[in-house]
């Protein structure tokens, strides 16, 4: 089981209601930059998730919360600027929202997604050297010659209230004879699922890639040994 702590300076605006979806959205600043993993974990800790976008109207609304140069990085070594994180992720199954919603609407900047600097990619506002509501992909962490994105947008299904933060946990369920299904939050990126049959050593990365369903990473395992242990490691 992975254990983590969040420690990042942030500044936030109050959540805003969008009648077309019935959801609330909160733009959160991270002036010193933030990785996609930490942004996703922060959203979970507050009871929400990184914003998912299903049409142009929702995209325009979410972008209106961060429509300012201060939400974008300074020019990179290529002269482009990176905007706040959203909830899209490209896995082995293609582009998905971390909630499991259909990834049907897109608003890619011309030339995007380009898969620069990593196989797993994550979604952010990106308009090249400009500031705009189009999208780009990003590997999620530090890239030489680029600043980390300076914010993210959280979406809440209901009006947010005070949330007591608790760490996401690896869930293990018996789903068939001699089969368990492992699941963990879809925004818990940057962690590796491992297993061992002896606990104290011999940890091995799990061979099957997880898929996102109902906002969770899920992967089944066939159990043919008396005991098996699992953990998320970063």
What are the per-10-residue average pLDDT scores of the chain (234 residues)? Answer: 36 78 95 94 91 97 95 97 96 88 95 87 96 96 96 93 58 86 81 78 83 86 81 80
Q: Radius of gyration of the chain from Cα atoms?
A: 18
Same domain for 20 and 136, yes or no, is yes
Last residue within a domain, chosen from 128, 156, 184: 156
Which helix (H) or strand (E) segment is 49 a member of?
A: strand 49-50
Domain assignment present for 2: no
Task: Give the CA count within 13 Å in the CB-facing half-sphere of 106.
Answer: 14
Question: CATH number for the domain including 15?
Answer: 3.10.100.10
Same domain for 53 and 146, yes or no, is yes
Q: What is the structure's pLDDT at 139? A: 94
Q: What distance in Å separates the CA atoms of residue 189 and residue 3, rounded to the nearest whole number?
A: 13
Same domain for 69 and 132, yes or no, is yes
Same domain for 197 and 133, yes or no, is no
Q: Which domain holds residue 86?
A: 11-156
Domain assignment present for 88: yes
Q: What is the structure's pLDDT at 63? A: 97
Q: What is the structure's pLDDT at 213? A: 85
Same domain for 215 and 137, yes or no, is no
Q: What is the structure's pLDDT at 165? A: 46
Last residue within a domain, chosen from 98, 126, 156: 156
Give the distance from CA 5 to its chain's centroid.
17
Same domain for 136 and 214, yes or no, is no
Looking at the structure of the chain, the number of domains it has is 2
Domain assignment present for 6: no
């Amino acid at each position: 089981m992975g254990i983590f702590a969040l420690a990042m300076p942030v500044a936030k605006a109050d959540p805003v209601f969008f009648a077309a979806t019935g959801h609330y959205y909160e733009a959160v600043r991270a002036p010193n930059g933030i990785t996609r993993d930490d942004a996703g974990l922060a959203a979970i800790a507050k009871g929400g998730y990184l914003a998912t976008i299903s049409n142009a109207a929702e995209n325009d609304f979410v972008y209106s919360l961060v429509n300012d140069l201060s939400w974008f990085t300074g020019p990179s070594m290529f002269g482009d600027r990176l905007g706040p994180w959203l909830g899209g992720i490209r896995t082995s199954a293609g582009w998905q929202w971390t909630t499991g919603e259909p990834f049907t609407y897109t608003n890619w900047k011309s030339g995007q997604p380009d898969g620069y600097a990593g196989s797993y990619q994550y979604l952010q506002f990106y308009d090249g050297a400009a500031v705009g509501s189009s999208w780009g992909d990003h590997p999620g962490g530090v890239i030489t010659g680029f600043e980390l994105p300076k914010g993210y947008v959280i979406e809440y299904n209901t009006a947010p209230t005070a949330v007591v933060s608790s760490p996401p946990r690896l869930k293990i369920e018996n789903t068939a004879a001699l089969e368990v299904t492992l699941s963990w939050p879809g925004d818990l990126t940057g962690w590796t699922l491992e297993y061992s049959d002896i606990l104290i050593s011999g940890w091995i990365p799990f061979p099957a890639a997880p898929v996102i369903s109902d906002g969770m990473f899920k992967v089944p395992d066939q159990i043919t040994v008396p005991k098996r242990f699992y953990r998320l490691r970063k």
